């Protein structure tokens, strides 16, 4: 699972084009309960278990459900619309770091 999550993260995190997968796209997927949103958040969370993402670190408890992470990120995107044009991976990392500081 971790390998798949890492591959997904690296694919979407690569600088193919600025704004290719941004917070607006992620917000749209998360508010429609699209599986891409859940998978993307799971991938970032898995990577954050061992690495920082854009300088953000999070200590997500093992018993936190993926649906909770989706709610946290969606709420963060709702509350920070001025940042949705930024890279989705950095926004997920920030939301998780604020919710689960180490």
Q: Which residues contact 68 (CB under 8 A, 6 or more apart)?
A: none
- The Cα 64–Cα 54 span in angstroms is 22
The pLDDT of residue 10 is above 90: no
The string of pLDDT tens digits covering residues 30-85 is: 999 888 899 999 999 999 999 999 999 999 999 999 999 999 999 999 999 999 99
Closest by CA to 45, choosing from 100, 98, 93, 99, is: 93
- The Cα 42–Cα 6 span in angstroms is 10
């Amino acid at each position: 699972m971790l390998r798949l999550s890492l591959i997904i993260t690296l694919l979407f995190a690569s600088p193919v084009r600025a704004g290719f997968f941004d917070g607006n796209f992620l917000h749209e997927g998360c508010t429609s309960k699209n599986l891409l949103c859940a998978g993307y958040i799971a991938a970032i969370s898995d990577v954050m278990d061992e690495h920082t993402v854009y300088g953000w670190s999070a200590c997500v408890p093992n018993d936190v459900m993926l649906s909770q992470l989706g709610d946290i990120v969606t709420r963060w995107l709702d509350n920070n619309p001025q940042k949705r044009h930024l890279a989705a991976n950095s926004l997920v990392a920030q939301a998780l770091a604020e919710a689960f500081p180490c």
